[in-house]
Amino acid sequence: MKVVVIQGPNLNMLGHREQGIYGAMKLETIHAQMESVAKQNNLEIEFFQSNLEGEIVDKIQECLGDADGIIINPAAYTHTSIAIRDALSAVSLPAVEVHISNIYRREEFRHTSMTAPVCTGQISGFGPFGYHLALISMMQILSEVQAIRQEQEKTQKA
């Protein structure tokens, strides 16, 4: 099974950017930690970061037929992007939305997520640890998907 982690604009600046809100951990460190957990669980994982909305849409589309699940922090596009929401809807893969900060404790414009309604669930406010929670959640979702598939195969054979 394969999971693609998609990171939106300015997340390449983690470690430097507004440390009081996002912490001191760099994106590479977050990814290295996720990679090690994925490896321990025989899960393939790929990382992608872009500051461009269209590139994020392209990456989500590429997940169709290539990945089993998506972990996404659309960053500022969370609050604005119908295109990213539509792409997530179109591929119809299990998706977990992550926010490092608690978007509901911040400015009002951050309280609306365009993308959360088309995701399986959202994790917000746990700092970089949220990515670990997202990965654990995704592994649970994928094991349920696998169990359903196996059950369907059994009934088709019977």
For ligand DQA, the closer of residues 49 and 78 by Cβ is: 78
Q: Establish if 103 lies at the interface with ligand DQA (CB under 6 A).
A: yes
What are residue 123's DSSP bridge partners?
A: 98
Please answer whether residues 5 and 71 qualify as being in contact, where contact means their C-beta atoms are separated by less than 8 angstroms.
yes
Residue 88, CB-side half-sphere exposure with 13 Å CA sphere: 29
Stretch near ligand DQA under the rule CB under 6 A, chosen from 26-34, 37-45, 93-101, 136-144: 93-101
- Residue 78 Cβ vs ligand DQA, minimum distance, rounded to whole Å: 6
Interface mask toward ligand DQA for 12-51; x: CB under 6 A: ----------------------------------------
Catalytic residue among 16, 31, 79, 99: 99
Round to whole Å and give the CA distance between 137 and 120: 10
User: If 0-12 CB within 10 Å is exposed, 13-18 middle and 19+ buried, where does residue 126 land?
Assistant: middle
CB of 130 to ligand DQA, least distance (A): 8
d(Cα 67, Cα 23) in Å, to the nearest integer?
Answer: 30
Is 75 among the residues that bind ligand DQA (CB under 6 A)? Answer: yes
Distance from C-alpha of 155 to C-alpha of 140, rounded to nearest angstrom: 23
Three-class SS state of 118: helix
Among the candidate windows 34-42, 50-58, 74-82, 141-149, which touches ligand DQA by CB under 6 A? 74-82
Q: Is 99 a catalytic residue?
A: yes
Active site amino acids: 22, 99
The residue ranges that bind ligand DQA (CB under 6 A) are 10, 73, 75-76, 78, 99-101, 103, 110
